[in-house]
Structure 1
Amino acid sequence: MSKIRVYELAKELNVSSKDLINLLMDEFSIEVKNHMSVIEDEDAELIKELLGGSSDSSSEDGEKKTIVDEYEDELAEELNKGVRKKKKTKKQLEQEEIERNAEAASGVIEIGETITVKELSEKLGKPSNDVIRTLIFTGVMAALNQEIDFNTAEKVCEKYEVLVARKEENNELEEFEEEVEASEENLEKRPPIVTVMGHVDHGKTSLLDAIRHAKVTVGEAGGITQHIGAYTVTLNGEKITFLDTPGHEAFTAMRARGAQVTDIVILVVAADDGIMPQTKEAINHCKAAGVPMIVAINKIDRPGANIDRVKQELTEHGLVAEDWGGDTICVPVSAKTGENLESLLEMVILTSEMQELQADPNRKGKGTVIEAKLDKGRGAVASLLIQNGTLNVGDSILVGSTYGRIRAMFDDKGKKIKSAGPSIPVEVLGLSEVPAAGDRFVVVKDEKTARNMAESRKEKIRTESHQSSNRVSLEDLYSQIQEGKVKELSIVVKADVQGSVEAIKQSLEKLSTDDIKVRVIHGAVGAITETDVTLGAASNAIVIGFNVRPDNNAVAQAEKDSVEIKTYRIIYDAIEDVKSAMIGMLDPEYKEVVNGKAEVRMTYKISNVGTIAGCYVIDGKIVRSSEIRVIRDGIVIFESKLASLKRFKDDAKEVARGYECGLSVEKFNDLKEGDIIESYSMEAIKRKEL
């Protein structure tokens, strides 16, 4: 038989159905509703064996008796006697079991980030009721199966005079790293991974398309079929993988997440245009990442092309062309005519050979997510770049805080494949959720392991979100230097004019000492933008603004990434703050608090009064008694106080977000539509003890 009813088993064992139901539910954790419920044959045989009700021969009974421990014998004895007080008996037996395990719980016990109350009581060798009582006295209400954190568990253990050690959780990624180091003899050459950057309209997309048409889509019907954010081309038997990213913002955003996927950067500069603001940004982002650059001087087919001028401008940013005695490879190309495309690819292969890029294709795959989306018909679709090992269909993978089993895999041309090696981009199906671009993935032994690790990571992310980030700031810079956390202070400088950028940059870099080096990784003219904050997050840098302000997106991003933005009106103050922070003497007495912002929608000129601005409060509130600054195109043009603030005809102390108001600024009448009026106050803060 495969199943048996409770009353039938009770009859065979010569006990009451009620006692048998209590035994099944309390001691064997088998859910039983009534005497008509069915239980599995395997469970029934086990119960018969333990209670001596088995139909086996008497000679076998004696043998089985030897493998039944005292705890099970007592259960059988209590049941056969018909004892009704099951709760008391269970409690006594539980206490005996705890006492038997008490010796194992002596000494030092290991606890992870969290532990259930039941597990803690077992490790301590104490009754769960006592542990719960101790938790209540420490101010924590927790049930038997509820989890408590390490610090709470440590307090409980102190009450019982038991030492606690934090259990190191297995990090699958670290295990894989060790595996890579241990298999150096299996290393083989891998294709380089290339990212194309440059200023808008300098021909990045045209260059990529030209390479694809020349090397990928020759003879293909229907044109370009690449949709996965990366593709591979072949030149003289050598493969090159191109990342089709939107530019340096995406490059740095991925780097901010810890994904250093690019081996080589191709910097595209138009021969008829030269170095532009975004080109300069791309150069600084590459330098911060420490990735080798190849400059592709594009549009050489145009009449106004001047290759030497581009090379001259590159020298201003520390890039000297090889034919000028430097070490920067410069290749004049034309995406339109296809001129020198092969030379460009040859330089990429040459640079990759100098780097000696290697990977082990025999190990389990690992890499990074390039793109991810939710497809209506296929579910979560992720584009992965394999950086080491081989990825196969059927592999269970852990991707960031999500997981899955690869159901299907496609290459960059949309063809179905079964496996892919290092530096090969693929599109996979089978993930439980859509991962984030820049998330790292590893292959694990099975889907259950992947799911458990993904859940653990989600919990860790939730925990970490409540804790402060360890970003560098001027206030705690000295303590971080003393602890050895900071050896280099990276700074992003934004100012209203180029002269100020250069002056601040040179002055700050002169502050470098033996203990810490000050390095300005990016300096530019204009308002502090989201891109500046992203670069600051990726490089653990401080953003300093001189006569400029951050836009709303930059402020939100800075709060999210815990990047410090400091704004100044006097260069000397900026230099003194950094200098004071480095020697541990920084002692700010006032902190600027922004109350709100209003946008000028219309202006009125009134004789004997001046210019009145009709404004709409777009953020926070405008306070009548506060200081204000006038911002035009992200640059502070005037600072003063409000001469008047009115709602309709009535004077107002403050006007909240979403309301209109009229205002005038003391000693300033050049208000224009589109100007931003920022209301702020200086808040006194206590002196810090160092």
Structure 2
Amino acid sequence: GGQTITTPVSALTGQGVPELLELVLLQAEVMELKADPKGTLAGSVVEAKLEKGRGPVATILVQNGTLKMGDSIVVGSTFGRIKAMTDYRGGKMTEAGPSTPVEVLGLSDVPAAGDKVEFYPDEKSAREVAQKRQEEERAKTYVVKARGLTLRDLRNKLSEEGLKQLNLVIKADVQGSVEAVRGMLEKVRNEEVEAKIILSGVGGVTKADIDLAAASEAIVVGFNVKPDGEARKEAEKRGVEIRTYNIIYELIEDIEAAAKGMLEPKFEESHLGTVEIRVRFQFSKKGIIAGSYVTEGKVTRNALCRVTRGKEEVYAGKVATLRHLKDDVREVTLGMECGLTFDDWT
């Protein structure tokens, strides 16, 4: 007697999939779900992310009308003129009709999942609408404070100053992660304190995020992202704490524990420097030797390290040996060349 249709399916064997598709069509017919390819454009963002070399990328599901190359659109508080369209296989498209998912490039920023897509006759009018919405959002979240805050300081703030609010700046790798983290953190509250998210977005932690955190006495939380060099230096200078996580439950547990004043000590990363591997040698006995150049800070022997290729982490471990020219050295600093080997990486 309920309103929800259910059917058993198996992704492994394909059992029940034909029945599921029939029921979807039946339900659409019963609910009179219709769309006009020639009507006013309407759609929603399914997922969005910031890709290196491509900029903001949004996956949009067209719900009415037809989305075409070159269209000027407003998506939530972002805008843009569509420069490229691809289907779910990566093939190029020139237009997308109702019920068609499409990945688009050309937006000014990364939209939020669920944002509505609206058509505008030109890019100028789309920009004006988007900027007005951005100003309204800033007005809602604008907070003026004086200094940074760490999770370990939270208990003192609660007792000494009666702090009732924990301000957070959230950055994640994709919009779906942002929404998941945001949704869970917004539920963190007790009789003493509640979490308030003053900014959430896609991409690495930047200096602008640190400036906002310092002004609003907030903590910066990163999920599957890292701060850039400038952001890290600014955070140290202004006393802003940056916490990065790869597991969402650890993130939530830390914030909940801090709100209760029971945060356990945590081993935190201390960033020493960054090197660029410029040439790679493979030896049967020594393993991999990386001819490198120090681009930031310094590198030291026996330091823990990560090696990434693009966004993919290909090694995590320890620097085994460090050489400059023909000499074994303890550390190599900014602007110098060096040779590295790594523990258990062959």
TM range (shorter): 0.5 to 0.7
* 2:290 aligned with 1:613: yes
Aligned to 2:218, which of 514, 523, 541? Answer: 541
* 2:321 aligned with 1:644: yes
Deviations 1:328-387 (A, max 9, x none): xx7834257x89x9xx7xxx8xx99xx9xxxxxxxxxxxxxxxxxxxxxxxxxxxxxxxx
1:547–1:635: 8 Å Cα contact kept in structure 2? no
Distance 1:537 1:515 in 2: 22
1:320 to 1:655, Cα distance in 2 relative to 1, 3 A: closer
SS state at 2:293 partner: strand
Distance 1:298 1:546 in 2: 27
Structure 2 residue identity aligned to 1:586: L
Aligned to 2:230, which of 509, 529, 553? Answer: 553
2:168–2:199: 8 Å Cα contact kept in structure 1? yes
1:475 to 1:651, Cα distance in 2 relative to 1, 3 A: same
Deviations 1:399-437 (A, max 9, x none): xxxxxxxxxxxxxxxxxxxxxxxxxxxxxxxxxxxxxxx
Match of 1:481 in 2: 158
1:306 to 1:480, Cα distance in 2 relative to 1, 3 A: farther
Match of 2:120 in 1: 332
1:620 to 1:298, Cα distance in 2 relative to 1, 3 A: closer
Match of 2:272 in 1: 595
Deviations 1:637-660 (A, max 9, x none): 532112322223333222233321
Deviations 1:510-542 (A, max 9, x none): 222343222334444432222322332344321
Cα drift, residue 488 of structure 1:
2.5
1:470 to 1:520, Cα distance in 2 relative to 1, 3 A: closer
Distance 2:313 2:198 in 1: 24
Match of 1:626 in 2: 303
Match of 1:518 in 2: 195
Cα drift, residue 634 of structure 1:
6.6
Match of 1:570 in 2: 247
Structure 2 residue identity aligned to 1:542: I
SS state at 1:592 partner: coil
- Show the 5 A alignment for 1:498-513: 498-513=175-190
1:271–1:306: 8 Å Cα contact kept in structure 2? no
Distance 1:647 1:474 in 2: 40
SS state at 2:249 partner: helix
1:612–1:662: 8 Å Cα contact kept in structure 2? yes
1:475–1:586: 8 Å Cα contact kept in structure 2? yes
- Show the 5 A alignment for 1:182-193: none
Distance 1:320 1:497 in 2: 18
1:491–1:541: 8 Å Cα contact kept in structure 2? yes
Structure 2 residue identity aligned to 1:334: D
SS state at 1:548 partner: coil
Distance 2:81 2:97 in 1: 10
Match of 1:657 in 2: 334
Aligned to 2:260, which of 583, 587, 594? Answer: 583
Cα drift, residue 631 of structure 1:
4.0
Distance 2:253 2:286 in 1: 41
Cα drift, residue 552 of structure 1:
1.0
- Show the 5 A alignment for 1:114-129: none
Distance 2:123 2:275 in 1: 47
| Unpaired runs of at least 5, structure 2 | 1-69, 83-93, 105-109, 140-145
Structure 2 residue identity aligned to 1:583: K
Runs of 4+ in structure 1 over 6 Å off? 305-310
1:485 to 1:580, Cα distance in 2 relative to 1, 3 A: same
Larger radius of gyration between Structure 1 and Structure 2? 1
Distance 2:312 2:169 in 1: 17
2:147–2:238: 8 Å Cα contact kept in structure 1? no
Distance 2:208 2:112 in 1: 24
Distance 1:634 1:526 in 2: 12
SS state at 2:147 partner: coil
Cα drift, residue 474 of structure 1:
0.6
1:604–1:613: 8 Å Cα contact kept in structure 2? yes
SS state at 2:225 partner: coil
Cα drift, residue 476 of structure 1:
0.7
Distance 1:591 1:298 in 2: 40
Structure 2 residue identity aligned to 1:489: L
Q: Which has the higher strand share?
A: 2
Structure 2 residue identity aligned to 1:647: H
1:573 to 1:314, Cα distance in 2 relative to 1, 3 A: closer
Q: Percent identity between the aligned chains?
A: 38
SS state at 1:486 partner: coil
Distance 2:203 2:258 in 1: 26
1:494–1:545: 8 Å Cα contact kept in structure 2? yes
SS state at 2:151 partner: coil
1:307 to 1:484, Cα distance in 2 relative to 1, 3 A: farther
2:207–2:230: 8 Å Cα contact kept in structure 1? yes
Q: Which has the higher helix share?
A: 1
When normalised by structure 1's length, the TM-score is 0.31
Cα drift, residue 632 of structure 1:
4.5
Distance 1:547 1:570 in 2: 8
Distance 1:271 1:305 in 2: 12
1:307–1:332: 8 Å Cα contact kept in structure 2? no
1:478–1:581: 8 Å Cα contact kept in structure 2? yes
Distance 2:209 2:98 in 1: 30
CA RMSD, Structure 1 to Structure 2 (Å): 4.3
Structure 2 residue identity aligned to 1:515: E
Distance 1:542 1:307 in 2: 42
1:533–1:558: 8 Å Cα contact kept in structure 2? yes
Structure 2 residue identity aligned to 1:576: E
Distance 1:616 1:507 in 2: 41
Distance 1:645 1:623 in 2: 7
Cα drift, residue 505 of structure 1:
2.8
1:320 to 1:578, Cα distance in 2 relative to 1, 3 A: same
2:113–2:175: 8 Å Cα contact kept in structure 1? no
Distance 1:541 1:307 in 2: 42
